[in-house]
Amino acid sequence: MEVTVTINGDSHTHDVEPRTLLVHYIRDVVGLTGTNIGCDTSSCGACTIHVNGESVKSCTMLAVQADGQDLLTIEGLADGDVLHPMQESFRQCHALQCGYCTPGMVMAAVSLLDENPDPTEREVRIGLEGNLCRCTGYHNIVKAVLHCAEASS
């Protein structure tokens, strides 16, 4: 089935099998490998992207469901060489260790602040409950999100 999606501002059209998962389409067909696959069971959040501006786990969506939708992946967040404020906050607060969860964590955090620009620490922790960091680096991740919220206000 033919699918046309906008990813990071660029339009892509491909013929895909209906059972193709969105994350496989993004990584293997379009070639944007910044979005990671972790648990593949919609638990870990490593594959989080934005669909029409909202965080979604792309391992639990079919590419055909995304037909005509506007997608944003980690590659589309920065403005050229200028990091997105959330990426910059992650860098400043050392909010990554091995880095595997980071693309999904950043995408979830950006969506969280879109919905709640001035969250409490508890709201950040609950808001990121869909993303796992197996380095258990949560402390600095939460710090980075709060730092980003403060810097943006």
Write out the residues near other proteins by the rule CB under 8 A. 1, 17-21, 24, 40-43, 45, 48, 51, 54-57, 60-62, 64-65, 67, 108, 111-112, 115, 126-127, 129-131
Please say which residue, 91 or 121, places its beta carbon nearer to other proteins: 121
> Shortest approach of other proteins to residue 5 CB, angstroms?
14
- SS3 for 82-128 is ECCHHHHHHHHCCCCCCCCCHHHHHHHHHHHHHHCCCCCHHHHHHHC
> Shortest approach of other proteins to residue 82 CB, angstroms?
27
Per-residue DSSP letter, 6: E
Residues with Cβ within 8 Å of 45's Cβ and at least 6 positions away in sequence, in order, are: 38, 57, 101, 104, 105, 108, 128, 130, 131, 132
> Does residue 93 contact residue 87 with C-beta atoms inside 8 Å?
no
Please say which residue, 6 or 42, places its beta carbon nearer to other proteins: 42
> Shortest approach of other proteins to residue 83 CB, angstroms?
23
Please say which residue, 57 or 147, places its beta carbon nearer to other proteins: 57
> Does residue 50 contact residue 71 with C-beta atoms inside 8 Å?
yes
> Shortest approach of other proteins to residue 124 CB, angstroms?
11
Please say which residue, 45 or 103, places its beta carbon nearer to other proteins: 45
